[in-house]
Structure 1
């Protein structure tokens, strides 16, 4: 028998069948399991979840003195579970909420100008936030949420404008713009998996705050142009715990706190700080890990140049075998496209092109800007090409390594707009 109860009546020995609320509001990947760990019980009560369904056929029932929160239902009325180790079902996809006026769809060209302004403002806001954190001041959560709202609205209007601009950053501004980029990537990922607007903004907040602990890491280590020593890396590894401690008591939602603390955990248990594995890693933390890694490896750093976006996705796909969540990574790829904006491609004609936007038809046929002929070895007047058009004879022959070609204006070729300072 299924019973809906208040979390205050939840006790060890009960079988948790379902959380009453959004899947983003709790730190568990599984939603059906026998509650045996007191820490799990405490984590549930710390979340925004107020009610849950329990299955009295698989675990303890309510004591006679307590009453269910709302209703009971026969077990057969719910989806059967084939054992406790069964793969969790994909999160439900709610009906999309209507777009607010501030987030009406826009063309890439239109949104790039607004996204550039958002990036410039966001960089200054994050610099101030890190400076305040460095001095021990409380975080302005309302201001951070306002910034996330701007990022979310931009991603709503056009999903690739802000994502692409945020990736283009200098090595010395990496720490600050990285937070903005991860926030935008998180919003795009949550929209891909069908979360509502509240879920999107919570994810965006996790992306914006996930590295706040680096405010307490010495700048000479953060900005070191060479490889870190073991001692220096040990200091950097403290930033999740530092950030988590700094955000405690600021009204930050528990899933966001969990993501800040555990975004460097790995599925195989080799991450840090707690060496969590598999279902012990919260969903929002798994999402943050993917977005964090992608922006890190595609960004230019003092000691290395960033990878091409398409190459980054190819390599990250190999890491899903032990480090990253494979199902969420698949959704992440769909949110960006197999060839993300900014990817350098070789076409079947031998010409080179840069991806300018994704196609509505297929992940493998984006819109590109053709600008170079490998046969003549010369630049050609740039022109736009929709690889998904029925009459288009060009096909993608493969990815190209930007390092090989050293085009100084590659980051500008996909957008006719100035990049943020």
Structure 2
């Protein structure tokens, strides 16, 4: 719940929602974190006396705030504007281990989560309540991996198995919401709640007929009504298992839309928390980019376009923009073609220049043959090579899962 405090009570790390009392006519251009004492001094300077904060978003020392989160920006004269803090070499959110070292651990964690999903589905089918503790443990594992080296788990969310969507989707949403919450500077406890809820957000699909879930053709009105109930079932299952709060919101409301066009409850606007809005965006993004038995997934850029088209109506406009900034134009794990005809997977991102990541190449499109695996850092020493486009593996007949397991994990 939001709180109104005086400017004297405002501390570094607090999230400012709005200004409620002031002597001047300053306007807050965007909500955000006040990350320095200097920023607070500037707010006082322009006459701010009282603000509304969201205590749930107060940045904690563990984990420390990322440099990319929005800073409170005051619209006034140039000298009175509170700017974002520049990134420094001592960025506490920088990866503590290499991608190569983390990816093996990430794969084991991902497999553990899939096994846990299968066991939970079996328990529900047998009329048992699910044990949520193992899910909480896996959520902690995702957090630890993301804080060590988030590119490893990000890459795994892009390695899809067409017949495993039901299991992988919830895992991917959990990983992506962890990364997104980290980007937004949420506290570790809050991130853990989000990750746990996302892991279980689609558990209600176990109560939907499999023929309907996997139907390749258009659903009938009756079948679609059944599909819509899975969110209600998920909420019900988690409540019976003893979960509450954010996890319940994500499970029950991830298909709701801010314009009221979602399901199953038709909630809209302020009825949907920031967490439910985040889950809605990520749920759609992962579904759009997924390869399934009956369809090929979209590229991330194509999925981002759909989200942008729905921003402000179906989806929260600010959160859509923040999510795209967080994930990047070409997310880690995306298959890309370079201007030198080499094809590979983006293995490390480059936030300062998204079009110049590290690409692990393994195929030559011009000669239609595999080549020796090589890391090409487009930001260093490869100025004459450009990232041309994201491509689908089907274009070259590539099996990314096979390559990933043999070449990146060993």
> TM class, shorter-chain normalised?
0.7 to 0.9
Which residue matches 2:119? 128
TM-score (norm 1): 0.72
CA RMSD of aligned residues (A): 3.4
- In structure 2, which of residues 362, 374, 396 is the aligned counterpart of residue 383 of structure 1? 374
Closer/same/farther in 2, CA of residues 89 and 267 from structure 1, 3 Å limit: farther
Matches within 5 A, 1:108-187: 108-187=99-178
- In structure 2, which of residues 290, 295, 301 is the aligned counterpart of residue 304 of structure 1? 295
Closer/same/farther in 2, CA of residues 153 and 354 from structure 1, 3 Å limit: same
* Pair 1:355 & 2:321 matched: no
Unaligned 5+ segments in structure 1 are 1-6, 8-14, 21-28, 34-74, 82-87
Measure the CA separation in 1 of the matches of 2:294 and 2:183.
Answer: 33
Which residue matches 1:97? 63
* Pair 1:213 & 2:185 matched: no
- In structure 2, which of residues 217, 228, 241 is the aligned counterpart of residue 226 of structure 1? 217
* Pair 1:366 & 2:357 matched: yes
* Pair 1:261 & 2:255 matched: no
- Classify the secondary structure of the residue corresponding to 1:78: strand
Which residue matches 1:333? 324
Measure the CA separation in 2 of the matches of 1:371 and 1:141.
Answer: 41
Measure the CA separation in 2 of the matches of 1:274 and 1:31.
Answer: 29
- In structure 1, which of residues 62, 79, 83 is the aligned counterpart of residue 51 of structure 2? 79
- Classify the secondary structure of the residue corresponding to 1:383: strand
Measure the CA separation in 2 of the matches of 1:270 and 1:261.
Answer: 15
How far residue 227 of structure 1 moved from its aligned partner, in angstroms, is: 3.4
What per-residue deviation string (whole Å, max 9, x for no partner) do you get for residues 198-248 of structure 1?
A: 011011011111111112112222233433222211101001111112222
Closer/same/farther in 2, CA of residues 172 and 354 from structure 1, 3 Å limit: closer
CA contact (8 A) 2:100 2:409 kept: no
Closer/same/farther in 2, CA of residues 417 and 400 from structure 1, 3 Å limit: closer
What per-residue deviation string (whole Å, max 9, x for no partner) do you get for residues 80-107 of structure 1?
A: 89xxxxxx999554445379xxx98321
CA contact (8 A) 2:17 2:51 kept: no
Measure the CA separation in 2 of the matches of 1:216 and 1:116.
Answer: 29
How far residue 374 of structure 1 moved from its aligned partner, in angstroms, is: 4.5
Unaligned 5+ segments in structure 2 are 10-15, 21-46, 66-93
What count of residue pairs does the alignment treat as equivalent? Answer: 347
Which has the higher relative contact order, 1 or 2, with Cα contacts under 8 A spaced 6 or more apart?
1
Closer/same/farther in 2, CA of residues 176 and 410 from structure 1, 3 Å limit: closer
- Classify the secondary structure of the residue corresponding to 1:332: helix
CA contact (8 A) 2:17 2:52 kept: no
